[in-house]
Amino acid sequence: MPELPEVEIVARSLDKLVKGRSVATAVLRRQRLAPDHTQAQFAKKLKGATINFVHRRGKHILIDLDNGRTLITHLRMSGRFMLLNGDHEDPKFAHAVLYFDDGTRLVFDDQRHFGLMKIVDTERLNEANEIAKLAPEPFSEDFSPDYLREAMRSSNRPIKEFLLDQTKVCGLGNIYAAEALFLSGISPRRRGRSVSGSRTELLHRNIRAVLQEAIDAVGSITPDPVFVGEEIYGGGSERGWRVYDREDEPCPTCSSAIRRIRQGARSTYYCPKCQR
């Protein structure tokens, strides 16, 4: 479900909600959520830890603990966090639960079972496989126009598929890749290496613009503070996209019908007239 903006808001909300809470007991209900740990190890590594803060790298949520460890979580398609208390039942797919010493609990619920958790030593966080290969953060200086140009120059794939590769550009998913390409007037089928320098610079700006716009939009519709008992909210599909999920609807710029194609077994939406 989430791309960088949704993950960013979930991380910020979690930081406000669970910072300072202490884990009395941790339960891994579905072992394959955390394939690198046994259920006993998972419980032991979290028991007694207090949450220092919650942040994000790419689409990974990082829960920094005071015992020298970090709990890495990837929501994948359907993962979500909920902060519950004794009045609430667990949701249907509660694959992990952190019981805090104040009677509340943080539940990881995941209908499609794609989500992943892993606990690492915080000082080795950047060496973890999940983190080590990620491209620079889109808002960092390392993600420069030059960086993007270099990465695209060696890519023979359609630019849309390139943008989904988290080792090349991190944080974009199927929605924001399509949106950034639309704003930049670049066809999703075009090979990365064939995009001109000026278009690449425009794309670089628009990647940041769509992500920032979405962070602002998702943030504004996410309750603050988020109350106990609700999903820790990362936005929803009620927002309107420019081209994503708008097959046959008029392009916001030229009114041509927006087209949907398959690329790498996923849908891509674009305007065949505005994007060349």
Partner DNA sequence: ACCCTCACCTGCACGC
Partner DNA sequence: TGCGTGCAGGTGAGGG
Tell me the catalytic residues: 2-3, 59, 266
Contact status: 47 vs DNA (CB under 7 A): no
Residue pair 176/206 in contact (Cβ under 8 Å)? The answer is: no
In whole angstroms, give the CA distance from residue 111 to residue 92: 8
Instruction: Return the structure tokens found at 4.
Output: 């960088």
CA 180 to chain CA mean position, Å: 16
- Candidate list 67, 111, 122, 253; residue touching DNA; CB under 7 A: 111
For DNA, what does the binding mask look like between residues 60 and 79, x meaning CB under 7 A? --------------x-xx--
Nearer to DNA by C-beta: 61 or 98?
A: 61
Kindly state the smallest distance separating residue 264's Cβ from DNA, in Å.
5
Nearer to DNA by C-beta: 4 or 18?
A: 4
Identify the DSSP state of 222.
S
Contact status: 157 vs DNA (CB under 7 A): yes
For DNA, what does the binding mask look like between residues 2 and 41, x meaning CB under 7 A? xx--x-------------------------x---------
- Candidate list 156, 198, 227, 248; residue touching DNA; CB under 7 A: 156
Q: Choose the stretch contacting DNA; rule: CB under 7 A; options: 94-102, 202-210, 223-231, 233-241.
A: 233-241
Parallel, antiparallel, or unpaired: how do β-strands 116-121 and 259-263 relate? unpaired
Q: Choose the stretch contacting DNA; rule: CB under 7 A; options: 196-204, 220-228, 234-242, 251-259.
A: 234-242
- Candidate list 86, 89, 92, 248; residue touching DNA; CB under 7 A: 92
Residue 68: what are its φ and ψ, rounded to 5°?
A: 85, 10
Nearer to DNA by C-beta: 103 or 264?
A: 264
In whole angstroms, give the CA distance from residue 169 to residue 152: 10
CA 121 to chain CA mean position, Å: 22
Nearer to DNA by C-beta: 77 or 257?
A: 77
For DNA, what does the binding mask look like between residues 184 and 223, x meaning CB under 7 A? ----------------------------------------
Q: Which runs of consecutive H residues, i.e. helices, occur in the chain?
A: 4-18, 39-46, 129-132, 145-153, 159-164, 174-184, 197-221
List all residues 6 or more positions away from 93 whose beta carbon is below 8 Å from its beta carbon: 109, 110, 111, 113
User: 124-143: which residues touch DNA (CB under 7 A)?
Assistant: 130
List all residues 6 or more positions away from 210 whose beta carbon is below 8 Å from its beta carbon: 176, 179, 180, 183
For DNA, what does the binding mask look like between residues 167 and 186, x meaning CB under 7 A? ------xxx-----------
Kindly state the smallest distance separating residue 135's Cβ from DNA, in Å.
11
List all residues 6 or more positions away from 40 whose beta carbon is below 8 Å from its beta carbon: none
Instruction: Return the structure tokens found at 48.
Output: 């007694």
Contact status: 256 vs DNA (CB under 7 A): no
Axis-axis angle for helices 197-221, 4-18 (nearest 10): 40
Interface positions with DNA (CB under 7 A)? 1-3, 6, 32, 58-59, 74, 76-77, 92, 111-114, 130, 154-157, 161-162, 164, 166, 173-175, 234-237, 245, 264-267
